[in-house]
Amino acid sequence: MKYLFLSLVLLNILYALWQLQDNVLETSVSTESAGSPVVEPGPTAPVAIAESEPPRPDAAALCVTLGRFAAQEDAEQLRQRLLALDIESRLQAREVVMGADYWLVMPVVGGERHAVIQLSALQEQGIDSFLITRGEMAGSLSLGVFAREDYAQVRREQLQQLGHDVRLHAFNKKEQQYVVEVDSKARRLVDQAMLTRLRNDFPGLQHQYQPCGGVANARRIP
Tens digit of each residue's pLDDT (9 = 90 or more) over 153-204: 999 999 999 999 999 999 888 889 999 999 888 888 999 999 999 999 898 8
Apex 130 CA angle, 126 and 136, nearest 5:
145
Residue 101 has phi, psi (to 5 degrees) of -110, 150
Could you say which DSSP state residue 148 is in? S
Give the residue from 137, 136, 97, 93 showing the smallest Cα distance to 115: 137
DSSP three-state, residue 208: strand
CA torsion sign for 31, 32, 33, 37 is: positive
pLDDT in tens, 77-131: 999 999 999 999 999 998 888 889 999 999 988 888 888 988 999 988 889 898 9
What the chain holds in terms of domains, given with CATH numbers, is: 62-96+175-221 (3.30.70), 99-173 (3.30.70)
What beta strand segments (E) does the chain contain? 62-69, 90-106, 130-131, 141-146, 167-182, 206-211, 219-221
* Residue 135 to residue 141: CA distance in whole angstroms: 12
The amino acid present at 206, given as its one-letter code, is: Q
* Residue 123 to residue 131: CA distance in whole angstroms: 11
Residues 26-46: what's their mean pLDDT?
A: 47
